[in-house]
Structure 1
C-alpha cells in the first residue's frame, strides 16, 4: 500500500456515517437540551466580547476578545477558502447547505464545550492554568477516564500539524507570485520541489518567531490581524455579490436544492451531507476540541460567559466567511471547469470575478489567515504535548512542529487533506463524549447565570 492509499484509507475509515451522528446529532442534542437559551443572548455575548464584563483579576491568560481571536485565527483560514472549494468540487453546491446546518448546531456545541473549558480547567506541571478536552475529561469525569484524555492529546498533536494551511499558502504564492498562473506546469518537477521547500522554510521562520512567545503573543497577533483580514475578505465578497446581485438568489436556491439531490456528484444526499459536515468541521472546528484550548485560556471565573463568546465563532466563520467564498466560486463558474482544486480553484474564482486585482487581494488575506492559523495550531499542539510529557520538553515538540511545515510544503494536497480529516474525526470522539456526559453541569450553570443576568 502506498502512502497516498494509506492516508485515503485512514480518512475514509475515520469519517464514516458515525461522524454524522456524533457531530450533527450531538450538536442537535445540545441545541434542544439548552432550549435554545444561548441563542437568545447573542447581544449579551457581543457585549462580553466588547469588554463590558471583563474580569482583569480572574485566572487565565488572555481576554475574551483575545480568546475568540485566537480561536478564530485557528478556524478562519484555508478551511474557509480552499476548504470550501474542496467541498464544492467533491459534493457540489449542496455541500454548502450542510455546512450551514453544521454551523448552526455547531454554535450550540461550542457553547457547551467552551463553557466546560472554563468550568473544568486544569493546571500544568508548572502550575499554569490550562484548558482543553483533556482537562475537561480528567477534571470533570475523573481519573478513570484519563485514557480518553490521553487519546485526545495524541490525535490532537497530529490534527494540529500545520499541513493544510502550509500546503495551500505555498500553492497560491507559487502560482500567483513566482511562476504566474500562465506558467503552471512548466519546468521540471524538481524545480518546483526546491521552490516549495524554500517557501516552506520562509513560513517556518515567520511562524517560529511568534510561536516561541506563547499564547499571549499569539493572541496579540491574532487580535490585530484576524478582524482586519476578515473585513477585507468579506469586503471583496460584498463587491462581487453586489456586482452580480441578480444572480445571488438563484445560486442560494441551487445550494438548497442540490443538498437534497439524489444525483449529486457525491453520490446522493448522504454523500453530500458527509462532505458538508466534514468541511464544516475543518472550517469552524465545533466539537473537534481545538477551540476549547483557546477559550480555556480566557481570563474569567464565569464559564457561561466564555461559552457565549465561543458560540459566535461558527456564525462568523462558516455562515459568513464560507458563504462568501461559495458565492464567489458559484458566480465565477470555475468550479465546473475541472482541473484545479483547493486554493487554486478559489484564486481562479477571484480572478474571474475581480480581474487583475482579485487574486492578489485573496493572496493578502490568505497569507495572514494561513500564518495566524499555523501559529494557533502550534499552541494547540503544544497544549496536547504538555499534557502528555510536561512543559520541559515543549521546545522539542515546537521544533518538530516547525519541521512539519517543510513536509507540508512539498507533499500533495490529497495526502494533507486525508491526514487532517482523519485526525479531526478522531479528536471529535473524546470531545463530544465528554461534552454530552457533562451537559447537565452546563445547563445548570447556564440557568443560574441567565437568571442572575435578568436581575441586573
Structure 2
C-alpha cells in the first residue's frame, strides 16, 4: 500500500493546480457572469426548499427538500468533522478562511451546475429521468463531447466510494471504545487483533449499507431526509454548548482564522499558496462544489424550473461548509485541541469534544459520526450507480453497489493517508470535465435565469 500511496502523492500536485484554476478561477467567473443575482434570492431558495412552490404534477422522482437532503447527506459528514481537523492539522487555523471563500464561490457553481441538470436531463433505457454532468455534457455540448462525459464517469467510479467516511468512522470507534487498545485483544486468536476489529467494523458497515442502497433512489432519499436534519441539529446543539461554555474564546478563534489565512511566513509545505490549495482541496471534499455530484440528485427533482433547483442546490455549500465546518473549526481552535493532536484525522476533533463536554464529548461525537457516516454511505452509492449506468446501461449500473459494499471493508483497514490521496486525486480528475462543461454552458443558465426572475417579478407585482 505504501507504493500506491507514494504514486498517488506524486500525482496530486499536478491535479491540485488544475482544481485551483477551475474551481476558484472558474467559480469567480461565474459569480461575476451572474452579477451575483443567485445570492440575492437566498430567502426565495429557502421558500422553494420548504415546498412553497411545489407542483405535484411536475416531472421528477423526489421533492426539492428530498433532493437537497440527499445531496447534503452526501456532503455533510466526516468531511466536516474529520476533514476540517485534517485541514487544520496540516495547514493551521488559517486554512478555514480559504475553505469559507471556496464555499461562497461554490454556491454559485452549484447554482449553475444544478440548473443545467434540469435543463439537460434525459431518460435512461428504463424511461427514468436522469440528470448530472454526463447528461449536460452530451446533450449541451453534443455527442462529440461524450469522451469527456465518460472520463468524468470513470473517475467517479473511484471518487464516489465511501472509503474516507468508513476509514474515519473506524478510527473514531477504535479511539472512543478502546483508546488504550484493550478491546482489540479480545480477538484472542488473531495475529493482528487491531486488524481483526477493523475488519468486523468494515463488514458490519457493509451489511447495514446494503439494506438501504439496494432499495434505490427513493429509499435513499427517504432515509437521508430522516437522518440529515436530526444529525445536523444534534451536532449544532453539542457545538453550541461548547461555545457557550467558552464564549470568551469564540472571537479570538475567528480572529486567529483570519490572521493565519494571510500568514506569508507559514512553515507548511508550499508556504502561503500551500494554505490556499489545502483550503480548496478540503472545501471541495467537504461540499463537492465543482465536482458534479450534486447535479445527479438535483436532476431528479420534481420541477420544470431549472433556476428553482439551482437556487435550492445553492443552499448546500452554505449548510455544509459555512455552518457545519465553521462550528467544527471553532471548537477545535478554542479547545486548543489543534495544538495537542499527533496525527491526521478525527482524533483532533475527538480531543476537542472530550475536553469541552465533561469528558464524555467523544462518546457523543461518536454517535453523531455514526449518523453522518451512514447517511453519507447511503447516498454516495447512488452517484457511482449513475456513472456505471452511463458507461454501460442501468441493468449493469446496479452492480456498482456490490463493488461499493466490498470497498467499505477495505477502507476500514487502510491508512488515512492512502484514502485521502485516493479521493483527492479522483475529485481533481472529476472537476476537470464538469467545470469545463459548466463554464461552456453558463449562457444557457443565464437565459433561464432572466426568464424565471422576470416571471417571479410579475407574479409578485
What's the offset of the Cα at 1:341? 2.0
Question: Bigger CA drift: 271-280 or 352-361?
Answer: 352-361
Q: Are 1:8 and 1:418, in contact at CA under 8 Å, matched by a contact in 2?
A: yes
1:59 corresponds to which residue? Answer: 59
What's the offset of the Cα at 1:108? 0.6
Runs of 4+, deviation exceeding 4 Å: 184-189
2:127 corresponds to which residue? Answer: 127
1:106 corresponds to which residue? Answer: 106
Q: Are 2:341 and 2:347, in contact at CA under 8 Å, matched by a contact in 1?
A: no
SS of residue in 2 equivalent to 1:62:
coil
- How many Å separate the matches in 2 of 1:440 and 1:205? 45
Are positions 1:192 and 2:187 aligned together?
no
2:170 corresponds to which residue? Answer: 170
1:7 corresponds to which residue? Answer: 8
Task: Provide, for residues 38-62 of structure 1, a one-character-per-residue CA deviation record: whole Å limited to 9, x for no partner.
Answer: 1111111111001011121221110
Structure 2 unaligned residues grouped into runs of 5+:
none
Question: Bigger CA drift: 137-146 or 237-246?
Answer: 237-246
2:181 corresponds to which residue? Answer: 183
Are positions 1:143 and 2:146 aligned together?
no
SS of residue in 1 equivalent to 2:62:
coil
Q: How does 1:230-249 map to 2 (within 5 A)?
A: 230-249=232-251
Are positions 1:333 and 2:331 aligned together?
no
- Normalising by structure 1, report the TM-score: 0.97
User: Structure 1 pair 316/195, CA: closer, same or farther in 2 (3 Å)?
Assistant: same
- How many Å separate the matches in 2 of 1:186 and 1:214? 36
2:305 corresponds to which residue? Answer: 302
Q: How does 1:12-51 map to 2 (within 5 A)?
A: 12-15=13-16, 17-51=17-51
- How many Å separate the matches in 1 of 2:184 and 2:299? 48
Task: Provide, for residues 271-328 of structure 1, a one-character-per-residue CA deviation record: whole Å limited to 9, x for no partner.
Answer: 0000000000000001101111111111111100000000001111000000000011
Task: Provide, for residues 117-147 of structure 1, a one-character-per-residue CA deviation record: whole Å limited to 9, x for no partner.
Answer: 1111011111111111000100111100000
2:346 corresponds to which residue? Answer: 343
Question: Bigger CA drift: 403-412 or 244-253?
Answer: 244-253
Q: Are 1:266 and 1:272, in contact at CA under 8 Å, matched by a contact in 2?
A: yes
- Normalising by structure 2, report the TM-score: 0.96
Structure 1 unaligned residues grouped into runs of 5+:
none
- How many Å separate the matches in 1 of 2:18 and 2:191? 40
Alignment root-mean-square deviation, CA? 1.4
Aligned residues: 453
User: Structure 1 pair 27/131, CA: closer, same or farther in 2 (3 Å)?
Assistant: same
What's the offset of the Cα at 1:18? 2.8
From 439, 443, 450, the counterpart of 1:440: 443
SS of residue in 2 equivalent to 1:53:
coil
Q: Are 1:10 and 1:418, in contact at CA under 8 Å, matched by a contact in 2?
A: no
Q: How does 1:408-423 map to 2 (within 5 A)?
A: 408-423=411-426
Task: Provide, for residues 209-241 of structure 1, a one-character-per-residue CA deviation record: whole Å limited to 9, x for no partner.
Answer: 000011100100010110110011011111111
From 208, 211, 225, the counterpart of 1:209: 211
